[in-house]
Amino acid sequence: MRNIKFFDTTLRDGEQSAGVNLNLQEKLEIARQLERLRVDIIEAGFPASSKGDFAAVKQIAETIRTCSVTGLSRSVRSDIDAAWEALKGGAEPRLHLFIATSPIHMVHKLRMTPEQVIDAAVEAVKYAKRFFPIVQWSAEDACRSERPFLAKIVAEVIKAGASVINIPDTVGYITPKEYGEIFLYLQNNVPNIEKVSLSAHCHDDLGMAVVNSLAAIEHGATQVECTINGIGERAGNAALEEIAVALHIRKDYYQVETRLNLQEIKRTSNLVSKLTGVVVPPNKAVVGKNAFAHESGIHQDGVLKEKTTYEIISPELVGVPSNSMVLGKHSGRHALRNRVEELGYTLSEEEINQLFVRFKELADKKKDITDDDLVALIFEEKFDHFNEFYQLSSIQVQYGTNQIPTAVVVLKDGKGNEIQEAATGAGSVEALYNTLERCFQTAVTLLDYRIESVGGGRDALAQVFVKVRVNDVETSGRGTAQDVLEASAKAYIHAMNRAVMIEAMRGENEKVATT
Ligand SMILES: [Zn+2]
């Protein structure tokens, strides 16, 4: 059986989703989880695009030992140099070079002739090969490129030393049949094609990213590029979990193998959704909340008698927990640590101690502490206070049906100053956010506000997600507390802290790549 490699680009293409900005700590946690999922390659970012991306790619390359870590690079020496600096500490450094090959892109974006594009591509691959053992080359907008030209440039970059050729459907335009034909065309028209492996990279603008990726596999591709939950530019990328489970469940048809550990799928999906703030729709294949729920009476009856009557995927296959363990007031540090490890999180001794304090506080107010509660606490401990500039000291909000809602907030900033402000609003949350905006002394536009409870029960934790724009930075934040107003304040401050960090880490080329 052929082996299919999974190239995960959640941290590069996925992170290009509108409003998604992950910090270093969050990217590292996702990379660790991808390693547990046993993807083959992790695309950790675009090192030349910003200081933040560079630092994250470097740290991930130095941390991850059992996957190849790669970074994106334009076909220019300065990008390749930055990528090498970031990736050289990796277990298997790999460069992902790209250049556009479609007439539209060559004329309007690159302003280069086809011959100049070939020269630039060849020169970049040769230069990259001086450093990198593995160079992957991508033809941006390959699917709208002229096939003879595509074959010609692919032959040239293989000669120059590329060992993986990626054929992205950058704009999500292709159909499965046509995509398969491009792979066949290259295999029939590029003389040295057997020296390389072929890779698919699909976008979901027409809802065909997964099926296009599968078509590529059927027509000779041995690598697929995808993201967890299908997040990414515009309508997103091909969803890793859907391709992986399709290949597994229909092994009889596809006749291929992967090295993935499918049982880590659900956990990876949850982690990415929580950290990016991108919600998984309940009806989403494989990882949606309802993916394994049988509602109709006839179906329920069938499943009770024999699971396989209506269930082709078992929840256990993708690691959906069957029983959720509950901790309580009397659970000790040891039980807590065990559970945290079982949930797949790596916490330092100090973080465990902090978490234990928070856990005890919560256990005083809430009878059962579920896995979801614990994950919410871990997030607060590990990610939400990472590198924060503003810290919440206290809030006070007054609300009455015949009163003007008023809020008072005390914050500490990164320079040790105490900031105290008060303001009113039409509602409690507005009063709170008006007050916080005064504290920040910057106009903040609230683009989205979402509140949900962590599990059921009147004593459940509240979790608030916000999306904001600060100057020209769009970012998100989350906050968890038993009180909805406190959770709201924390989410807003979290988003503001991210905005401060993004501003500080900015480079000139922020988010310029679209491959
Ligand atoms: Zn892409």
CA distance 6 to 371: 29
- pLDDT per position as a tens digit, 4-25: 999 999 999 999 887 788 989 8
Residue 510 has pLDDT above 80, yes or no: no
Q: How far is the CA of 134 from the centre of ligand 1 (A)?
A: 20
In the reported structure, the alpha carbon of residue 245 is separated from the centroid of ligand 1 by a whole-number distance in angstroms of 21
- Separation of 491 CA from ligand 1 center, angstroms? 30
**Does residue 297 surpass a pLDDT of 80?**
no
pLDDT tens-digit series, residues 495-505: 999 998 888 87
> Residue 72 C-alpha to ligand 1 middle, in angstroms?
11
Distance 165 CA to ligand 1 centre (A): 15
Q: How confident is the model at residue 322 (pLDDT cuts 50, 70, 90)?
A: low
The Å distance, Cα 202 to ligand 1 centre, comes to 7
Radius of gyration of the chain (CA): 25
The tens digit of pLDDT for each residue in 450-496 reads 999 988 888 899 999 999 999 888 889 999 999 999 999 999 999 99
Q: Ligand 1 centroid vs 290 CA: distance in angstroms?
A: 28
Residue 343 has pLDDT above 90, yes or no: no
Which pLDDT tens digit goes with each residue over 66-84? 999 999 999 999 999 999 9
- Whole-number Å distance, alpha carbon 323 to ligand 1 midpoint, is 37
pLDDT higher than threshold 90 for residue 300:
no
Distance between Cα 233 and ligand 1 center (Å) = 7
Binned at pLDDT 50, 70 and 90, residue 254 comes out as very high
pTM: 0.89
Cα 408 to ligand 1 centroid, rounded to whole Å: 45
More confident residue, 342 or 323: 342
- C-alpha distances (whole Å) from 204 to each of 5, 92, 250 are 20, 30, 22
Percentage of the chain beyond pLDDT 90 is: 72
Cα 514 to middle of ligand 1, angstroms: 6
Q: What does the block give as tokens for 494?
A: 């979290």
pLDDT at 338 over 80: yes
How far apart are the CA of 203 and the centre of ligand 1, in A?
6
Ligand 1 center to 264 CA (angstroms)? 24
CA of 226 to the centre of ligand 1 (A): 9
**From the CA of 168, how far away is ligand 1's center (Å)?**
7
Distance 169 CA to ligand 1 centre (A): 8
Interval between CA 53 and ligand 1 midpoint (Å): 17
- 189 vs 187: CA distance, rounded Å: 6
Q: At 181, is the pLDDT very low, low, confident or very high (cuts 50, 70, 90)? A: very high
| Separation between Cα atoms, residue 500 and residue 253, nearest integer Å | 51
pLDDT value at residue 507? 57
Distance 320 CA to ligand 1 centre (A): 29
Query: What pLDDT, on the 0 to 100 scale, is given for residue 514?
Result: 58
Give pLDDT, residue 342.
82
Cα 21 to ligand 1 centroid, rounded to whole Å: 17
**If you search the block for the tokens 């059927």, which residue do you land on?**
218
Cα–Cα–Cα angle for 71, 72, 73, nearest 5°? 120
With beta carbons less than 8 A apart as the criterion, state whether 495 and 466 touch: yes
* CA 371 / ligand 1 centre spacing (Å): 34
Q: State what percent of residues in the chain have pLDDT above 70.
A: 97
Residue range 388-429, pLDDT digits in tens? 899 999 999 999 999 999 999 999 998 999 999 999 999 999
As a whole number, mean pLDDT of residues 270-274 equals 93
Tokens 């709170």 correspond to what residue?
A: 432
What is the structure's pLDDT at 318? 94
Whole-number pLDDT of residue 18? 78
Q: How far is the CA of 260 from the centre of ligand 1 (A)?
A: 22
Element (H, E) at 356: helix 349-365
Report the pLDDT averaged over residues 428-449. 95
Q: Please give the average per-residue pLDDT across 132-161, as a whole number.
A: 97
Residue 13 alpha carbon to ligand 1 centre in Å = 5
